Amino acid sequence: MDTDADPLPRVPTATCSGPLGQHFPEPGPVRYLPGEDGGVGRWIVTRYADVVAALTDPRLSNKSYAAADPTSHEPNDQLGWSMVAADPPDHTRLRKQVVRAFSAKQVETLRPRVQRIVDELLDAVAVSDEIDLVETFVFPLPVRVICHILGIPRTACDRLLDAAHTAEVPAAGVPLECAENVLREVIDDRHARRTDDLLGGLVTARNNHKLSDTEVLELARLLFVSGHLTTVTLISHGIAALLDDPELRALLRDSPAHVSSMVDELLRCAGPVPSVPRYAVEDVDIGGAVIPGGSYVAVMLMSANHDPITFTDPHAFDIHRRTRDDVAFGHGIHFCLGARLAKMEAELALGTLVGRFPDLAPAGPAPDDRPLSLRVHLHGHGNGGTAPPDRASRISKNTYRGDDRG
């Protein structure tokens, strides 16, 4: 066990060396990292086997997720006291109310709807030359999909997109106040009339005393926020990889079936959630290190996905990789509820984009006032596929950190 205060060794993802370049702790023994300026320290878990152990050990609680400071009892502004901040039995009860909406069978029924949204968004920009794909395509797609699942009407969905477009940092997410106002309106409507959408189901569960009013709103807010932000990051990373690698674009154009394995490798190499927090409710041994009860623990998903013991040549972006046991979506009871949906959205978005615009090319760096941006020439008037040098840093800022999504 290493408890010194030296910075953790950090390594970049490899094609991770191109537009997906992010930095994360190198896989190694569990160690303690003291807080800066007297702040709260944390234990860092980075090796694949240790991460899996940490994510399945009930002594590492998820409740501390709601607090920026593990000694605080104030809820997180975005996710509050909801399913991602719960342990069994509350977590089990809450997840049960929504899990069917994200089952493999149910997600597959959404495929035609998602494809239709993808096509509509690309139809709207097809005659353009230079556009911002995040603003016009990447961001609206998952917002419209999760609105459909929740039962938010199209007019209200448009209000959410307009609010995101006019926010201080466009496409960084729908302002929470606006999202809550819309969710409250739709929930009130569901009290007045029964529907078969997800919000209607949550209101029915509340009327059957399975959920409280607060839990209905918190679940709705969680599903909306996590249902679009992480997917925006995933698709953005995918487009960045395609812009950086003409051979990858050509492969997906000529062999569309490879898009699924490309998204799998994208998740392993540059998943949208680099780490998740836990809180030790008692002493727990992870990888030979005893983490004292009361400690804050950072479980590094990205580091685990680059552990050479589990993944051969882990810093290579290899869509033909056989090992697919990554933890990009977590592991155990908090495994991402929307994993199948996010993958399907990314596959349809990337596959359709390359199929319709095979000459897609970068159009320059993101403007300073819009860091969450992917400016492209749809019809190949760019620089032949070489990404601007600062594109990686701009896209990596779009990462939504620390969300189990249920």
Contacts of 27 (CB under 8 A, 6+ apart): 46, 47, 48, 303, 304, 306, 307, 308, 309
Q: What is the pLDDT of residues 225-241, one digit of tens each?
A: 888 888 998 999 999 88
Domain 10-396: give its CATH architecture. Answer: Orthogonal Bundle (1.10)
Q: What is the pLDDT of residues 282-302, one digit of tens each?
A: 999 999 999 999 899 999 999
Q: What is the pLDDT of residues 371-399, one digit of tens each?
A: 567 889 898 754 433 333 333 333 333 33
Strand 130-132 and strand 275-280: pairing? unpaired
Distance between CA atoms of residues 313 and 153, nearest Å: 47
Q: What was the pLDDT predicted at 75?
A: 44
Predicted confidence band of residue 267 (pLDDT cuts 50, 70, 90): very high
CA 104 from chain centre, in angstroms, equals: 18
- Output the six-digit token pair for 211: 């959920």
- Output the six-digit token pair for 55: 């994510």
Question: 3-state class of 326 per DSSP?
Answer: coil
Higher pLDDT: 301 or 66? It is: 301
Q: How many CB atoms lie within 10 A of CB 355?
A: 13
H runs (alpha helix) in 37-78: 48-56
H runs (alpha helix) in 275-362: 301-304, 339-356
Distance between CA atoms of residues 347 and 267, nearest Å: 12
Closest listed residue to residue 375, CA positions, set 387, 388, 362: 362
Distance between CA atoms of residues 121 and 118, nearest Å: 5
Q: What was the pLDDT predicted at 163?
A: 86
Say what percent of the chain tops pLDDT 90: 56
pTM value is 0.84
Q: What is the pLDDT of residues 305-315, one digit of tens each?
A: 999 999 999 98
Distance between CA atoms of residues 208 and 328, nearest Å: 35
DSSP state of 287: T
For 50-79, what is the mean pLDDT?
Answer: 68
**Cβ atoms of residues 171 and 160 within 8 Å:** no
